Amino acid sequence: MANGVFRYEDDLLKHYIRTTAWLPLCKSRLAAVRAAPTRRERERRLRYFTFCAVGAIDVLMLDVANIIRRSSDGRFDTVFFFDRSPEYVIETQKRIPGAIGFPGDFTSVVLLEDAEENSVFDSETPLEPALNSADVRETRVNQLLLSQRRNFIQYFPFDVVNLDLEEFLLKPNDEFPGRLIRALSKVFTWQKRPLRISGGPSRSLDGFSLMFTTQVGPPNLTDEYLGMLRDRIGNNLATDDQLLDIMLDRTGVNDPLLLQQTQFEMFFKLGMPKVLASILMGTDWYVDAEYGLQIYEIERSTNGSSYKMLHLVMDVKRHNPPDDRRAPGTQSAEAEEAYRTLVRQVFATPETVVSDDTIDRAQLQADLDRIKARRRLYYDSEAEDGQ
């Protein structure tokens, strides 16, 4: 990752996904915001959470397309991002000035224990001088992490959540059900927080757009994780008679265990989206059936081996009525129907494989160049380095 710039920044396969999947989804999300009932809600700017990496190509693409609007003094202050590297946070902020950057490990910050999680809190309380602990590094770091977490929570909800994590959703070494899954559950719960609009009403979002990226695999998943994926597929098959035939047609097998043993990749692709859908359902959201769940696949080679990335793109809706107005343990009818549709779609529709054969390289390159030209307006790294 030379100079902190994302190594796949120039990858045109990735850029195809940005322009073909992410951009239209964000456009439609902006249209949804513009259709809000009150003027203040309609005129507000899109709130975007991302793991944009130093290059911030996704943010700048939305800037070029006028989907993300900067503040009157030119700040990207409705863009929020995490980066594990403190240095990359700084580099990112040079390219998208005014964006709100969080240094640190996203999952660790999200999963940090906070005794006051569900009560009224503010992000500055943890920063108060500790009464009974010495002023040592451990104390300070804990204070900062807690403050950071609360700060992060206060920025919720976002209109677009781009979890372009470039890593595995399921990690064999993680205690089941996995840190990332637990973190996502927290994030989707915080998405229910009311949006405060200055001078206007506070209202929970009806929906948001979600982009999620994961590597396929890993192949050495533990039995618990494999069992979870099998159960997802098995439950789907048990509740919809037609799925068995669909699966047989697509994979040649009708048994989840056999699928796992013989076609791990296919097994993962059928099971994983439902894991995500379940986390959403568990936090009072569901994948909108109208847009559905679009899955794109790209293959990357590195050091002689290759791996596949899946990009999931979806619109997410809030249950209606929401959970605080439903009987415990029940789902809204609309959400249940949407889930059935989604499952069938995942079983029936293969992912879109993005390869050199399917993209227009010249057009994508021209688009990427336009975005980079915009970036140079904010920060010209070449000029600054070229002494």
Partner 1 sequence: MPKIKVHEKALAHLSRGLYRSPASAIRELVSNAWDANAKVVRINTNYPNFFQLSVQDNGEGFTMADFKALMEGGIGNSEKRSEELPLFNDRPVIGRLGIGLLGIAQICGAFTVTSKTRQGEGFRAHVNLYDLLKEKLDRNDPAIVKEIVSTPVPGEGLDPDEEYGLREVDIGEYNFDKNFDPASVRRGTTIITEDIHPTFVQTFKESLNKEEFPKFKDPPPDWSKALTILSRVHSLQEMGDYWRLLWELSAACPIPYVSDRALPRRIVAEDQKRLGGYDFKVLVDGIELFKPVSLRGNPGGYTSRIIEPQSTTIYGKPLTFHGYLLVQEGKQLLPDELRGILVRIKNVGIGYYDPSMLDYRFNEGPRSKWLTGEIYVDQGLEDALNIDRDSFNRFHPQFRFVQSYLHKILHNEVFPEVYRNIDARSLAKKEIKGKEHRQHLRAILSGTSGKPVRLKQAPRNEEDDLPSVHVSEEADAVEVTMPNPTNIKTSKAYRDLASALITIHGVALREKTRDRQRRIFTELLLKLLAEW
Shortest distance, position 111 Cβ to partner 1, whole Å: 18
| Closer to partner 1 by Cβ: residue 362 or 383 | 383
Both tokens of 278, joined, read 């379940």
| Closer to partner 1 by Cβ: residue 344 or 374 | 374
| Closer to partner 1 by Cβ: residue 89 or 279 | 89
Shortest distance, position 140 Cβ to partner 1, whole Å: 5
Instruction: Quote the CA–CA distance of 347 and 342 in Å, as a whole number.
Output: 9
Q: Report which residue type is found at 136.
A: V
**208 closest CA partner among 160, 164, 273, 277:** 160
**221 closest CA partner among 280, 173, 156:** 173
| Closer to partner 1 by Cβ: residue 146 or 163 | 146
**250 closest CA partner among 232, 231, 237:** 237
The answer to whether 145 and 112 have CB atoms below 8 angstroms apart is: yes
Shortest distance, position 385 Cβ to partner 1, whole Å: 5
| Closer to partner 1 by Cβ: residue 89 or 266 | 89
Cα 98 off chain centre by: 21
What are 56's strand-pairing partners? none
Shortest distance, position 100 Cβ to partner 1, whole Å: 7
Strands 293-302 and 305-318: antiparallel
Shortest distance, position 129 Cβ to partner 1, whole Å: 7
The answer to whether 261 and 235 have CB atoms below 8 angstroms apart is: no
| Closer to partner 1 by Cβ: residue 20 or 78 | 78
| Closer to partner 1 by Cβ: residue 16 or 82 | 82
**167 closest CA partner among 216, 95, 235:** 216
**183 closest CA partner among 115, 114, 111:** 111
Instruction: Quote the CA–CA distance of 214 and 128 in Å, as a whole number.
Output: 39
| Closer to partner 1 by Cβ: residue 166 or 240 | 166
Strands 305-318 and 202-203: unpaired
Shortest distance, position 277 Cβ to partner 1, whole Å: 33
Q: Where are the beta strands (DSSP E) in 61-111?
A: 79-83, 100-103
| Closer to partner 1 by Cβ: residue 83 or 367 | 83
Q: What's the start-to-end Cα distance of the chain, in Å?
A: 23
| Closer to partner 1 by Cβ: residue 87 or 299 | 87
Shortest distance, position 386 Cβ to partner 1, whole Å: 9
Contacts with partner 1 by CB under 8 A lie at 1-4, 71, 73-75, 86-87, 89-90, 93-94, 97-98, 100-104, 123-124, 126-129, 134-137, 140-141, 143-144, 147-148, 151, 381, 384-385, 387
Instruction: Quote the CA–CA distance of 345 and 294 in Å, as a whole number.
Output: 9
The answer to whether 23 and 65 have CB atoms below 8 angstroms apart is: yes
Cα 230 off chain centre by: 24
Shortest distance, position 124 Cβ to partner 1, whole Å: 6
Cα 337 off chain centre by: 24
Shortest distance, position 105 Cβ to partner 1, whole Å: 13
Q: Report which residue type is found at 360.
A: D
Shortest distance, position 70 Cβ to partner 1, whole Å: 11
